[in-house]
């Protein structure tokens, strides 16, 4: 199979990324990736052959919760992270980091923060880049889009949910204890917490509208760090169904 991935930046800052695993290097998929970011001054598209592709039968199950305020939504996210085994102080550290902007030079990172589940330290070697989950996709994206539509998810949400769910499923498969995410898209306020026991828990609103800051925090056990990184960045994985 082929891994096709795109990342785009503006003035040195990450603005968009997307990921496909396909049998063929079709123009259709390339165009889809190419057209995705609206505003950028640099785009990198990588096309890489992958030999071993692993399959996961089912994605994490989806749950959705709406709250009247960001404050209440974040409290709920922390409660879920605690249920997943993250100490409360470390969970709040993850929330504060995404709220502030996880890149020490300001704003968003290209990849995710790796945070020690117990101590709350950041474990990425490069805190501007972070760790990127790559080489994952659905076996049949069209079928998943249809299934999400049939469950009543609106197209506006499907566009992001479909990629985020496959990504979170790969993260948990790779040994991430729990993930916290909200988008850096200024208007997209739905985020999620994911773990093996919780599933994929969508939470709205995890940030105020018109906020261009977001990202991902992966809570990992210190001893697993190398194997988790290797899996996230090198292992190709296809998710079969919802």
Q: Which positions lie near ligand PML, rule CB under 6 A?
A: 157, 160-161, 164, 181, 183, 185, 190-192, 202
State the Cα–Cα distance between residues 219 and 207, nearest whole angstrom: 20
State the Cα–Cα distance between residues 193 and 168, nearest whole angstrom: 9
| CB 240 to ligand PML: min, Å | 19
* Residue (25 or 149) nearer to ligand PML, CB: 149
Which residue, judged by CB position, is nearest to ligand PML in the bound state?
183
Please list the residues that pair with 112 across neighbouring strands.
131
* Residue (37 or 87) nearer to ligand PML, CB: 37
| CB 136 to ligand PML: min, Å | 13
Taken as a whole, the chain contains a residue count of: 242
State the Cα–Cα distance between residues 77 and 6, nearest whole angstrom: 29
| CB 231 to ligand PML: min, Å | 20
Rg (CA), the chain: 17
* Residue (25 or 154) nearer to ligand PML, CB: 154
Sheet holding 236-241, edge to edge: 53-58, 236-241, 136-138
| CB 17 to ligand PML: min, Å | 8
For residue 210, give the 3-state DSSP assignment: coil
* Residue (88 or 187) nearer to ligand PML, CB: 187
């Amino acid at each position: 199979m082929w891994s096709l991935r795109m990342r785009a930046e503006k003035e040195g800052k990450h603005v968009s990324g997307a990921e496909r695993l396909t049998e063929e290097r079709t123009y259709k998929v390339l165009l889809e990736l190419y057209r995705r970011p609206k505003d950028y001054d640099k785009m990198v598209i990588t096309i890489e052959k992958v030999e071993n592709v692993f399959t996961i039968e089912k994605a994490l199950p989806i749950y959705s919760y709406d709250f009247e305020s960001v404050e209440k939504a974040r409290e709920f996210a922390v409660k879920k992270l605690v249920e997943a085994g993250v100490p409360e102080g470390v969970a709040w550290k993850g929330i504060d980091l995404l709220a502030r902007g996880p890149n020490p030079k300001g704003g968003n990172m290209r990849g995710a923060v790796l945070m020690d589940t117990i101590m709350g330290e950041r474990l990425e070697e490069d805190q501007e880049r972070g760790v990127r989950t790559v080489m994952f996709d659905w076996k049949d994206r069209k079928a998943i889009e249809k299934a999400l539509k049939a469950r009543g998810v609106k197209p506006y949400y499907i566009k992001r949910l479909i990629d985020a769910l496959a990504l979170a499923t790969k993260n948990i498969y790779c040994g991430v204890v729990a993930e916290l995410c909200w988008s850096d898209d200024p208007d997209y306020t739905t985020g999620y917490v994911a773990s093996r026991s919780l599933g994929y828990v969508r939470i709205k609103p995890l940030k105020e509208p018109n906020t261009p800051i977001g990202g991902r925090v992966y809570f990992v056990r210190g001893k697993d760090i190398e194997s988790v990184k290797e899996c996230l960045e090198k292992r190709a994985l296809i998710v079969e169904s919802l």
